[in-house]
Amino acid sequence: MGKKALEQNLEKEAIKLLVLELSQMDGATFFSKLNDQIPEEQKAVFDKAINLYLNEHLPVQHIIGYTYFYGYKMKVSDKVLIPRPETEELVSYVMQTYDDVFGSQVVKIVDVGTGSGAIAIALAKEEPKFEVVATDISSEALDVAKENAALNGVHIEFLEGNMLDPLIERGLKFDILVSNPPYIPDNEYVEDIVKNNEPNIALFGGLDGMHFYDVILSNASKVLKSKNIILFEHSYSKKKEMEHLARKYFPKANVEVIKDLNRKDRFTIIINQ
C-alpha cells in the first residue's frame, strides 16, 4: 500500500490520518494497539476509506467529512474549498494587525468569498470584539459555512452575492476586509485531486489570477471606513502585481507583502490610517 501511494503521488501521512480519525484514537493509543486484532466490521470501514483515497482519489477531508482550521472543526464537502494551512497564517495576521491599528476597539470585519466559513469563524472565535460578516456567490458554500458557524457556536451574518455587491447594496461599512479569493490563473495546471473535488468557482481567478483583487480593490472604499485594513492571501508569484494594484487604488496606504511559513510571498496587507 505504501508503495502504491507513493507511486501515485499520494501521501502515507494521509492514510495514517484517515485510520486515526476513523478509529477515534490518539496517535499514542493507536500505536500501542498496533499488534491487536481489529474487529472485521472496523477493518471493512478502514478498507473502504483507504480505497476511496487510493483508487477514487478523494481528498481525506472529504472521506472523513471535516478538517481542522485554526484548531476549530469545520465540515467540508465538494461545495467548498478545503481550507489550507497558509490561510491560518492569514487569520493570525488579521489578529496582529487589528491589535496594532485598532487596539482593543470593537470592529466590523468582512470575509469576502468565505467558502466553508473558515476565516470568518476562526476570527469570530478568537476575538469577541469582532462583528463578522461573510459573503460568497455560492449559496451551496454558504450553507456549509452556516453549518460550521453553528457547529462552532458563533454568530456571523452571511450574505450571498458577487464580491462586494451585497455589502454595497446594504450600505455596510467595515474596519477590516479580509479575503482569500480564487487566484489560480485560468489556464494553469491544477492537480486532479484538487480539480476534480473542489469547486472550480473557488479556484480560478481570471487569465492572470488577479481578477478578484482588482474587483475588490477598485470598490473597497465603498465598503470601508476611512481608517481601515485590507488583508489578502494570493499566489506567491504575484508580489509585484499586488503592490501595484494596492498603490493604484490606495496611493497613501502602508502596503506590505508578507511571506508564509514556506517563505513564499503570500499575503498583502494594506493599512489606511
Contact track, ligand SAM, 197-226, x by CB under 6 A: ----xx------------------------
HSE-up of 206 (CA within 13 Å, CB side)? 9
Nearer to ligand SAM, 138 or 228 (CB): 138
- Cβ distance to ligand SAM smaller for residue 216 or 246: 216
* List 123, 144, 149, 181, residue binding ligand SAM (CB under 6 A): 181
Sort strands 72-75 and 66-69 into parallel, antiparallel or unpaired: antiparallel
> What does the angle CA 63 – CA 66 – CA 72 come to, to the nearest 5 degrees?
160
Kindly provide the residue ranges of all beta strands, DSSP E only, lying in the chain, ordered along the sequence: 66-69, 72-75, 107-112, 130-136, 157-160, 174-179, 224-233, 254-259, 265-272
Distance CA 81, CA 75 (A): 11
Please report whether residue 194 would count as binding ligand SAM according to CB under 6 A.
no
Interaction of residue 81 with ligand SAM, rule CB under 6 A? yes
**Which of 67, 77, 148, 180 is the binder for ligand SAM (CB under 6 A)?**
180
Shortest approach of ligand SAM to residue 182 CB, angstroms? 5
Q: How far is the CB of 273 from ligand SAM (least distance, A)?
A: 26
Q: Are the C-beta atoms of 113 and 135 separated by less than 8 Å?
A: yes
172 binds ligand SAM (CB under 6 A): no
Cell of residue 124, nine digits = 469570530
Interface map 126-145 toward ligand SAM (x if CB under 6 A)? ---------xxxx--x----
Q: Binding to ligand SAM (CB under 6 A): which residues in 93-122?
A: 113-116, 118-119
Count Cα atoms within 13 angstroms, Cβ side, for 225: 13
- Given the rule CB under 6 A, which residues bind ligand SAM? 80-81, 83, 87, 113-116, 118-119, 135-138, 141, 162-163, 180-182, 201-202
